[in-house]
Amino acid sequence: MPLKKRDLTLTLASTMVGLTLGVSGLALAQSPSFRDLPADHWAAKAVHYLAERNIIKGYEDQTFQPNKPVTRAEFAQGLYQAKTAPNIVQAPLTEWNQDLPSPRIDPEAYVSQGATVTGDVTVEKNVFVAPSASVRGDEGRPIVIKEGSNIQDGAVIHGLENSKNAANRYPGPDGKEHSVYVGRNVSVAHGALVHGPAIVDDDTFLGFNAIVLKAKVGKGVFVGHGAMVIGVTVVDNKFVPNGAVIDTQEKADALQEKTRANEEFAAEVIHVNQAFARGYRDQPAGQQPGHTAH
- The burial of 11, by beta-carbon neighbours within 10 Å (0-12 exposed, 13-18 middle, 19 or more buried), is given as middle
Catalytic residue among 52, 108, 124, 139: 139
Closest CA to 184 of 134, 212, 148, 211: 148
167: Cα separation from own chain's centroid: 24
Closest CA to 122 of 12, 18, 195: 18
Asked about 161 being catalytic, the answer comes back as yes
> CA-to-CA distance for 232 and 212, rounded, in angstroms?
9
Closest CA to 64 of 9, 122, 132: 9
Beta pairing class for 238-240 and 256-257: antiparallel
> CA-to-CA distance for 54 and 81, rounded, in angstroms?
9
Catalytic residue among 161, 177, 263, 268: 161
User: Which residues are CB-neighbours of 149 under 8 A, at least 6 positions away?
Assistant: 124, 127, 128, 182, 183, 184, 185, 186, 187, 188
SS3 of 39, please? coil
> CA-to-CA distance for 125 and 103, rounded, in angstroms?
14
Asked about 139 being catalytic, the answer comes back as yes
> CA-to-CA distance for 1 and 282, rounded, in angstroms?
33
Catalytic residues: 139, 161
